[in-house]
């Protein structure tokens, strides 16, 4: 069972090189994936070597299946890869152009660059509907303010990433657009939104993303007292089991946002959070910046299984889903040879597309709508 727990964890790395202790931890515990940040990214040859080394670890693990190598590449201010990778405008700029063919091409082009380096999971698109103009944490990360328009574009983005053989991840369920507090710093509480409003507005882009066959959705660390007065979404079975699974009929993987964000860590202990997240319905847990916390979470979950706080069946089912997605979607995980990858990264067609979006125009060869 401990090997199965590890497959449900995605962890950050300390620096641009994989340390011996990190490699040992990943292999010994059958860890499911890693997430890359700017601290892990240098020159293309460094990133290529890091991804190649990470993928080589699968041959040493119990399951012999690929790691998720994830990254936040939305465009705009949330983009971990800089030049020579194509630098993309923010989602708001794309949303203004209201072209699904452009959104599809945007995601596919970005995805091809990620895929060439062995990155297989993008924690994007951000499909929050920006209904609060004072919301700085989302702001220009959102495609727009109209739920139907955001939903239409979200579907196209999902399909574009899938075409490039990248796993997209819709975030931040059920919608971070009506908040004003940054969940990195504290727990946002939306006192106004009830279930009817949530289903009519915030849930619409997620419904479309699910219909586009997305394999992963990320929970938002948000509290909606009119829907669940006790728990924030990531720790709420009302949101994850009743609404996401039953009402919206979502069948893909549910991954938490970073469990070290202060929205949660100010209110619950490092040991409590992973156990409660699994109880609520999360299937994968994300740890970005605290090197010791994946190990603490691993032990807390193991203890909760032993004590009966968590059911082995739940971990079994989550594990099977993760493995099934990897076997179906990550058939060729290794990066291309560096010389080949270098021809894809920053391709002139991608740069021209990015430039067009930045200038507020749809290229002539792409239709609007």
Q: What is the 3-state secondary structure (H, E, C) of the chain?
A: CHHHHHCCEEEECCCCCCCHHHHHHHHHHCCCEEEECHHHCCCHHHHHHHHHHHHHHHHHCCCCCCCEEEECEEECCEECCCCCCCCCCCHHHHHHHCCHHHHHHHHHHHHHHHHHCCCCEECCCECCCCCCCCCCCCHHHCCCCCHHHHHHHHHHHHHHHHHCCCEECEEEECCCCCCCCCCCCCCCECCCCCHHHHHHCCHHHHHHHHHCCCCEEEECCCECCCCCCCCCHHHCHHHHHHHHHHHCCCCCEEEEEECCCHHHHCCCCCCHHHHHHHHHCCCEEEECCCCCHHHHHHHHHHHHHHHCCCCHHHHHHHHHHHHHHHHHHCCCCCCCCHHHHHHHCCCHHHHHHHHHHHCCCCCCCCCCC
Q: 172 catalytic, yes or no?
A: no
Dihedral of CA atoms 310, 315, 316, 320 in degrees, nearest 10, equals 160
Bond into 174 cis (ω within 30): yes
Which of these is catalytic: 24, 45, 184, 349? 184
Q: 184 catalytic, yes or no?
A: yes
- The C-alpha angle with vertex 318 and arms to 277 and 229, in degrees rounded to 5, equals 25
Which of these is catalytic: 72, 128, 228, 257? 257
Q: Which residues are catalytically annotated?
A: 184, 257
């Amino acid at each position: 069972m401990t090997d199965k727990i590890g497959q449900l964890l995605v962890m950050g790395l300390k620096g641009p090189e994989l340390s011996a202790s990190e490699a040992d931890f990943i292999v010994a515990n059958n860890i499911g994936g890693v997430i890359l940040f700017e601290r892990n990214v240098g020159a293309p040859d460094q990133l290529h070597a890091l991804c190649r080394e990470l993928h080589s670890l699968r041959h040493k693990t119990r399951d012999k299946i690929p790691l998720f190598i994830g990254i936040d590449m939305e465009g705009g201010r949330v983009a971990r890869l800089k030049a020579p990778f194509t630098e993309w405008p923010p989602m708001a700029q794309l949303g203004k152009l209201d072209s699904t063919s452009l959104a599809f091409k945007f995601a596919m082009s970005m995805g091809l660059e990620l895929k060439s380096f062995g990155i297989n999971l993008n924690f994007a698109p951000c499909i929050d509907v920006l209904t609060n103009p004072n919301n700085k944490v989302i702001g220009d990360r959102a495609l727009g303010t109209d739920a139907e328009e955001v939903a239409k574009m979200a579907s196209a983005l999902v399909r574009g990433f899938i075409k490039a053989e990248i796993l997209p991840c819709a975030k931040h369920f059920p919608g971070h657009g009506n908040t004003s507090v940054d969940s990195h710093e504290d727990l946002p509480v939306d006192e106004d939104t009830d279930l009817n409003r949530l289903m009519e507005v915030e849930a619409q882009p997620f419904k479309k993303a699910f219909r586009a066959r997305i394999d992963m959705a990320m929970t938002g660390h948000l509290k909606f007292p009119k829907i669940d007065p006790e728990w924030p979404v990531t720790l709420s079975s009302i949101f994850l089991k009743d609404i996401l699974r039953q009402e919206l009929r979502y069948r893909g993987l549910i991954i938490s946002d970073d469990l070290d964000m202060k929205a949660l860590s100010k209110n619950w202990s490092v040991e409590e959070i992973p156990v409660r997240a699994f109880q609520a319905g999360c299937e994968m847990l994300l740890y970005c910046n605290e090197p010791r916390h994946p190990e603490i979470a691993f032990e807390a979950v193991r203890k909760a299984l032993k004590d009966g706080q968590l059911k082995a069946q739940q971990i079994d089912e989550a594990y099977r889903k993760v493995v099934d997605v990897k076997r179906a979607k990550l058939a060729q995980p290794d990066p291309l040879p560096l010389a080949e990858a270098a021809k894809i990264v920053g391709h002139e067609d991608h740069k021209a597309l990015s430039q067009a979006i930045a200038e507020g125009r749809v290229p002539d060869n792409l239709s609007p709508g």
